Amino acid sequence: MTNPTPVQSEGFKKQQFKVYDEELTEPLSKKVTGLKLPQSIHDALHALPQEERVKYLRRVICEAVKRDLIDQHST
């Protein structure tokens, strides 16, 4: 029988989702942005360990959006 009133401790919640980038100053979005990539790009990304891949993708996407969308509109 399942527990009708489960309790998730703070310790459980902290370990539930790994935070790979401790340098972030802004909270992360609650929604995930996902997209399909060409197979060669997918293979190159997935050759990286997961922690490095997450940091790399977050960094390059943030840099590109700031450069191409945010800074462009503020000038």
Detail the DSSP E strand segments found in 1-75.
none
pLDDT in the model for residue 56: 95
pLDDT tens column, 21-72: 777 788 888 899 999 999 999 999 999 999 999 999 999 999 999 999 998 7
Q: Is the pLDDT of residue 75 over 70?
A: no
Distance CA 41, CA 48 (A): 12
pLDDT of residue 42: 98
Given the structure tokens 């992360």, which residue do they identify?
28
Check: CB of residue 17 under 8 Å from CB of residue 30.
no
Residues 44 and 75: their CA atoms lie apart, in Å, by 35
52 neighbors 60 (Cβ within 8 angstroms): no
* Assessment of whether the complete model's pTM goes beyond 0.85: no
Per-residue confidence (pLDDT) for residue 18, from 0 to 100: 66
Tokens linked to 4: 């009708």
pLDDT, residue 27, reads 85
